[in-house]
Amino acid sequence: MKYRSITTLSVAHLITDINQGAVPALLPFLIAAQGLTYTAAATIVFATNISSSLVQPLFGHFSDRISKAWLMPSGILLAGVGLAFTGVAPSYRFLLGAAAVSGIGVAAFHPEAARLVNELSGKQKAMGISLFAIGGQFGMAIGPMLTTLIVVFFGLTGTLLLAVPVTIMCVISAWQYQKLFHDHSQPSVTSDTSQTTTGDDAWFPFLRLTVAVLFRSFTFYGLNTFLPLYWIHVLHQSKIAGGTALTLFLSFGVLGTLLGGRMGDRYGYRRVALIGFCFSSVLLPVFVLAQNVRAATLLLIPLGIAHCTAFSPMVVLGQKYLPNRIGLASGVTLGLSVSVGGVAAPVLGRVADGYGIHAALMVLAFFPLVAGLFTVTLPRRHPLTDPVLGRTGGGVLE
């Protein structure tokens, strides 16, 4: 495994996903400044994520065909610049447009970066993906607190400061790309990846995996969107406390991602993903029923760990099912696992407008169960090829 190169990509992932994590934290300020309804506020999340969701598989397909060095740096830049203009948008339409530009930037970054990580990881696929993923999760965790502090001290115009780190990282990633490309071309890496790029693509298991990824994403972004609002409007805490709660959830998600990566390589990807969904299916309803701040805060810790345990194993499963289209598989399982969840945000926002935020979270509590049911249907062995997949030989995925 090329740890140094993967670390570089992980830092780029961190800077990119700060912008995704920042969007939900901006909602309370935008609601207060512009008098938005919950549905209108959730539509901002929708704009960011629908743009990313629609084009991310296309970028993944493109990176499989012809690797393009400009995809990563331009994606980083667009993700930050789009978000930077949300705080100074002169109209609601302009605000949605800026959010959509940020989503397109996120979509451009993930597939190409994940394709490189897969080839740099050698035999430790899930561990390599988890190291890359925690960069994004740290970004998602830092984003709410950083954005909250910026807006508290500088007002909504302070979002322009978010353009600074992405500009710096854009230059660094463009400068480093040739070195990363050289690293993943070394024999020590390609000798392993040759095993995983032979054979046919298993589309039907991949489609079932995609459904599980979608419901995991709905859960993730639903919590991302409504946790700060839940803390403020239901538990009657401050806006800073709301941002802190989201940061706590995302921070312990980092631990869950590392745990899932290590366990996935050792015990099997399907099995570990299923364990994560089982725990989430129990913990999320308990969290929604908690009525005081202390209990809710403590439950965020195991909930964050359980929710993210399935992340790396599912990305690797997707890459194993589509060994000839790793960029496309990564765009769906890695990129959409975060971004497509925002598509459900307006629906949950309508539920929150009509019945309260607590009701929206109750609906959300059923999603990990659905993801787990689809994970159960995944084959224990690769249905078409017979490479070494997971802990043991013979194509075992569990």
- By three-state DSSP, how is residue 62 classified? helix
- By three-state DSSP, how is residue 378 classified? coil
The answer to whether the beta carbons of residues 247 and 144 sit under 8 Å apart is yes
Output the pLDDT for position 205: 92
Output the pLDDT for position 197: 44
Output the pLDDT for position 270: 92
Q: Return d(Cα 325, Cα 336) in angstroms, integer.
A: 16
Name residue 396's beta-bridge partners: 381
Q: What share of the chain is helix, strand, coil (3-state, %, to 5)?
A: 85, 0, 15
CA distances in angstroms from 4 to 9, 134, 181, 190, 247, listed in the order given? 9, 15, 13, 17, 27
Output the pLDDT for position 309: 92
Residues 76-104: tens digit of each pLDDT: 999 999 999 998 888 899 999 999 999 88
pTM of the model: 0.71
Helix (H) or strand (E) holding 233: helix 203-233
Output the pLDDT for position 336: 65
Q: Return d(Cα 102, Cα 47) in angstroms, integer.
A: 9
Angle at 123 between CA 397 and CA 334, to 5 degrees: 65
- By three-state DSSP, how is residue 396 classified? strand
Q: Is 4 exposed, middle or buried (0-12, 13-18, 19+ CB in 10 A)?
A: exposed
Q: Return d(Cα 69, Cα 392) in angstroms, integer.
A: 36
Output the pLDDT for position 129: 82
Q: Return d(Cα 323, Cα 394) in angstroms, integer.
A: 16
Half-sphere exposure of 268 (CA within 13 A, CB side): 17
Output the pLDDT for position 386: 43
Structure tokens at 40: 């209108």
Burial 306-319 (b: 16+ CB within 10 A, else e): bbbbbbbbbbbbbb
Name residue 381's beta-bridge partners: 396
Instruction: Identify the CA nearest to 16 among candidates 173, 179, 238, 239.
Output: 173
Q: Return d(Cα 317, Cα 333) in angstroms, integer.
A: 9
DSSP-derived letter for residue 200 is -
Q: Return d(Cα 199, Cα 42) in angstroms, integer.
A: 43
Q: Return d(Cα 70, Cα 93) in angstroms, integer.
A: 29
Q: pLDDT tens track of the chain, all 398 residues? A: 777 788 888 999 999 989 887 887 888 888 888 888 888 887 887 788 777 777 776 776 666 665 566 778 888 999 999 999 998 888 899 999 999 999 888 888 877 787 788 778 777 777 888 888 888 878 877 888 888 889 999 999 999 998 999 999 988 887 876 665 555 545 444 434 444 444 678 889 999 999 999 899 889 878 887 888 889 888 888 888 887 888 888 889 888 988 998 898 888 889 999 999 999 999 999 998 887 899 999 999 999 999 989 988 998 898 889 888 877 787 778 766 666 666 777 788 888 888 888 888 889 889 999 999 999 999 876 555 444 344 444 454 56
Output the pLDDT for position 302: 95
Residues 251-302: tens digit of each pLDDT: 898 889 889 988 988 888 899 999 999 999 999 999 988 878 999 999 999 9
- By three-state DSSP, how is residue 381 classified? strand
**Domain range 3-376, CATH architecture:** Up-down Bundle (1.20)
Output the pLDDT for position 68: 63
Instruction: Identify the CA nearest to 4 among candidates 235, 154, 184, 138.
Output: 184
Instruction: Indicate the domain borders of the chain.
Output: 3-376
Say which residues have a Cβ less than 8 Å from residue 101's Cβ, sequence separation at least 6: 51, 78, 81, 82, 85
